[in-house]
Structure 1
Amino acid sequence: MPRNLFFRSLLIPGFLLILLACSGDEKPPGDLIPQDKMAKILADIHVAEAQVTNMQLRSLDSSVMVYGELQKKIWKKYKVDTLLYRKSYSFYTSHPAYLTEIYDQVEKNLEIREKKKQIKL
């Protein structure tokens, strides 16, 4: 399966769930992660998830530990913490228009990284 199709296949189930969510015309609060930064974080998260999957670790515990370490690197790289990420993610997933814009950018970010062969955190 070509990588572009792989990344798109990750997005489709998420979008279907999001489209079912309620949305309003509410603007994002100022204390959230900005959309462009959120797109970069989500791109790194999807790459981290793929890396852990490709490791084919035998136990779920090992996968969770490895992913946890990769996630810590992502938080440090973008200077965010789990609480801020969850608050931002919660807002964006409950507002599909914003999340669609973010995932359009995630897809572009991943395509650029793939072309440059820079799929690293």
Structure 2
Amino acid sequence: MLSLIKTTLYLFYFILFFCSCQHEKKLPLPEDKLVPVLMDIHIAEAGLTHLTGTVKDSTAAKYYQQIYTMHGVEEAVVDSCLYYLKRHPARMKKVYDKVTKELEKMKTQKK
């Protein structure tokens, strides 16, 4: 009887160990598609800085919807990407380094 309990416990811990080692989820959007979306979001946010209250909220909602439509993505997918990036800081840094680089490129081209 004791042997059966030991075997059951070993099996339980074995299964628990492998269940806890889940494969890491991937970013819901590929970086080459996510970076332009994030760029446009940051440009929109910069444009909203002078607005306040409900005007800011309604304008932001319109901007965001236009960005999602323009890039052919859903808000939930972008939210999932941001959630993923918050949980993976090294990946977030990599993505935002690309966003910053592209925004700097845009800024120098406009001069």
Equivalent pair of 1:36/1:102 in contact (CA under 8 Å): no
| Residues 47-92 of structure 1: per-residue CA shift (max 9 Å, x gap) | 1001011xx23x4110011111111111011111111111111112
The counterpart of 2:35, out of the listed 16, 36, 39, is 39
**Greater helix share, 1 or 2?**
2
Tell me which moved more, 92-101 or 102-111: 92-101
Q: CA deviation at 1:95?
A: 0.6
- Is 1:28–2:26 an aligned residue pair? yes
Partner of residue 96 from structure 1, selected from 74, 85, 89 = 89
Q: Write the mapping of 1:1-121 to structure 2, written as runs, cut at 5 A.
A: 26=24, 28=26, 32-53=28-49, 56-57=50-51, 59-117=52-110
**CA–CA separation in structure 2 for the residues paired with 1:93 and 1:36:** 18
Distance 2:71 2:91 in 1: 20
Moved over 6 A (4+): none
Bigger relative contact order (CA 8 A; separation at least 6): 1
Pairwise CA distance, 1:27: 5.1
Separation in 1, partners of 2:31, 2:86 = 12
Distance 1:27 1:83 in 2: 16
Q: TM-score, normalised by structure 2?
A: 0.72
Name structure 2 gaps, 5 residues minimum. Answer: 1-22
The count of corresponding residues between Structure 1 and Structure 2 is: 89
> Following the alignment from structure 1 to structure 2, what is the Cα–Cα distance between the partners of residues 41 and 68?
15
- Stretches of structure 1 that go unaligned for 5 or more consecutive residues are 1-24
- Following superposition, the deviation at residue 117 of structure 1 comes to 2.0
Q: Deviations over 1:4-46 (max 9, x none)?
A: xxxxxxxxxxxxxxxxxxxxx83515xx111222121111111
